[in-house]
Amino acid sequence: MRRPALGAWLLKISIGKRLFFAVLLSIVAVGAIGVGLVRWRLAGDFSQYAANIEVQRLDGLIGALTAQYRQHAGWSFVPTQPDNQRTWLRDELTRAQAAHDAKAAAAPLSPSLGYRIGLLDQDQRYLAGAIASPVMIAVASIDTLRRPIVVDAHTVGWLVIVKPQNPDDGLAVAFLVEQQKSLLVIAGISVLLSALAAALLAAHFRKPVKQLVDGARRLGEGQFDMRLSIHRSDELGELADTFNHVAARLEDTERWRQQWVADTSHELRTPLSVLRVQMEALQDGIRRATPDTIALMLRQVHALTKLVDELHELAGVDEGQRHYDMACVDAWMLARDVAESFAEKIRIAGLALSIGPVPTRSLVHADANRLCQVIGNLLENSVRYTDAGGLIQLHATVIRHELQITMDDSAPAVPADLLERLGERFFRVESSRNRALGGTGLGLALSRHILEAHGGRLVFTASPLGGLRATLVLPVED
């Protein structure tokens, strides 16, 4: 039960605090490694005396301090200046050692011992020498021993010895004790530098992160026109660019959705309005239910049915639910058959049809019915918009590994700036959107989706006949 609570607590910590602890831990780790290296480098071939022997050799110093205490009736003989306090006890140890060596031959004391002893009074107050701080004792893994200074059966002071766990580490420990104030200052500076570095890094990251959070909140509120002004070359900059791209896509999607609703309602309103007017006229007795009236109403019903079917097909395309019966088919043969089936409709429209020669290859992997649907939509578009007395040409060619079936018609032409919009849902070239001039504008959108599902594409360009050229591009089967 504690781990989830700890994880939740960690998630609540701000980025600045996380960076601070990360930098601080890094500095502490480097410092610990440095201390270890100092101990390892300085611990070579120095004194090999055991710690208990070293402590016993301090009896001479204790005796000298005891004698001076009796003589002065207190510790008044100890220097009070800080610099002298650090060296005085070391000099006293040297004199006591010299007096001892004059009386009896003995091995010299460790040269580091004078830097590892300190003097306290009976109330544990500092008098002289070097006293290791609790932090240094914990960090350097060292111990301290205390020898009492007794005068007339009363303990008047303490001689404190810093004792390394390994006698070979005496000089290294002496160095650490001697420099402990400097090391504490360095540690304090390290903490301040950690805080400063964390604050700078947090400020460096907090601003773009805050902008990302605010931007995401605004997107959630439907403000798809917002963009982030974050110009960076790191991952946050890449995230901001991706965010702006997503926002642009959402804005386009929302605009298309609104246009889709408006266009759908417009396309449904026209046949429904006609049906309502005819039915109200019949109900009021203004018109009679003649075959012409019924035929007019039936045409509107067919228009509504076609619109609903096309919307259903496009919805299936968006959801990826369209099914294709793929097989190896002759695309040119299909195109020619569909064109010949339109011959009568083309003649009635006052147009001429021209079919080109058979291409060198025309086998493609496609759904024959869907391919016929595309060709029929394009022919229907040409018949509907081409002026009477015009021409429709159908021909094909193979370029590299692609079959290109091209359908040209004569005037009128499509404005060059509108060619790229052909194939958008509900888009028609005429701005009036008069149904007498064309259909719903969904046929070309369906055709484009069908060809893309076949690995092909539908391209619209200006025709050399003065009208529109529609090119079906499909990969050719070997």
DSSP letters spanning 352-411: EEEE-PPPS--EEEE-HHHHHHHHHHHHHHHHHHSPTT-EEEEEEEEETTEEEEEEEEES
Give the dihedral sign, CA 102/103/104/107: negative
What pairs with residue 363 in β-bridges? 330
Report d(CA 445, CA 453) in Å as an integer: 13
Residue 315 has a pLDDT of 64
Structure tokens at 213: 């959070």
Please determine, for residue 166, whether its predicted confidence score (pLDDT) is greater than 80.
no
Nearest to 228 by CA among 220, 132, 214: 214
CB atoms within 10 A of CB 369: 11
Residue 152 has a pLDDT of 84
Residue 225 has a pLDDT of 80
* Candidate ranges 4-8, 36-40, 69-73; pick with highest mean pLDDT: 69-73
Q: Label residue 438 by pLDDT band (50, 70, 90).
A: very low
Nearest to 61 by CA among 147, 154, 162: 147
Residue type, 435: R
Mean pLDDT of 62-86: 84
Structure tokens at 439: 């259909």
Q: Which residue has the higher pLDDT, 274 or 433?
A: 274
Report d(CA 396, CA 387) in Å as an integer: 24
Structure tokens at 336: 């020619």
Residue 224 has a pLDDT of 80
> Which of 189-198, 241-250, 373-382 shows the lowest mean pLDDT across its residues?
189-198
Place of tokens 């309103």: 269
Q: List for the chain the helix, strand, coil content (%; round to 5).
A: 60, 15, 25
Instruction: Compute, in degrees rounded to 10, the torsion defined by CA atoms 66, 71, 73, 78.
Output: -70
Mean pLDDT of 392-400: 92
* Candidate ranges 91-100, 191-200, 210-219; pick with highest mean pLDDT: 210-219
Q: Label residue 325 by pLDDT band (50, 70, 90).
A: confident
Mean pLDDT of 164-168: 62
Mean pLDDT of 462-477: 90
- Name the class of domain 327-475: alpha beta
* Candidate ranges 4-18, 382-396, 418-432, 438-452; pick with highest mean pLDDT: 382-396
Please determine, for residue 422, whether its predicted confidence score (pLDDT) is greater than 70.
yes
What pairs with residue 161 in β-bridges? 117, 145
- Spell out the domain ranges in the chain: 11-42+179-221, 46-167, 235-318, 327-475
Report d(CA 271, CA 277) in Å as an integer: 10
Per the prediction, the chain carries an average pLDDT of 76
Please determine, for residue 13, whether its predicted confidence score (pLDDT) is greater than 90.
no
Residue 229 has a pLDDT of 80
Q: Are the beta carbons of 404 and 360 closer than 8 angstroms?
A: no
* Candidate ranges 61-70, 396-405, 423-432, 449-458; pick with highest mean pLDDT: 396-405
260, 310, 414 from 431: Cα distances, Å: 16, 21, 12
Residue 404 has a pLDDT of 93
24-63 residue pLDDT tens: 677 667 666 665 665 554 444 334 444 555 666 677 788 8
* Candidate ranges 108-117, 176-185, 354-363, 447-456; pick with highest mean pLDDT: 354-363
218-225: long-range pairs with CB below 8 Å, 24+: 219/246, 219/247, 219/250, 222/254, 224/250, 224/251, 224/254, 225/251
Q: Are the beta carbons of 61 and 92 closer than 8 angstroms?
A: yes
Q: Label residue 313 by pLDDT band (50, 70, 90).
A: low
Please determine, for residue 163, whether its predicted confidence score (pLDDT) is greater than 80.
no
> Which of 75-84, 100-109, 349-358, 408-417 shows the lowest mean pLDDT across its residues?
100-109
Report d(CA 116, CA 20) in Å as an integer: 35
Structure tokens at 400: 């590299």
Mean pLDDT of 168-195: 70
79-128 residue pLDDT tens: 888 778 778 877 887 777 776 655 544 555 566 676 777 888 888 888 88
Structural element, H or E, at residue 220: helix 180-220
Residue 164 has a pLDDT of 67
> Which of 169-178, 198-207, 231-240, 423-432 shows the lowest mean pLDDT across its residues?
423-432
Residue 11 has a pLDDT of 47
Q: Do domains 235-318 and 327-475 have the same CATH topology?
A: no
Give the dihedral sign, CA 47/51/57/61: positive
Give the dihedral sign, CA 26/31/34/39: negative
CATH classification for the domain delimited by 235-318, as one of 1.10.287.130, 3.90.45.10, 3.40.50.1820, 3.40.50.150: 1.10.287.130
Mean pLDDT of 296-325: 70
Task: Using a pLDDT cut of 70, give the percent of the chain over it.
Answer: 69
Mean pLDDT of 383-395: 91
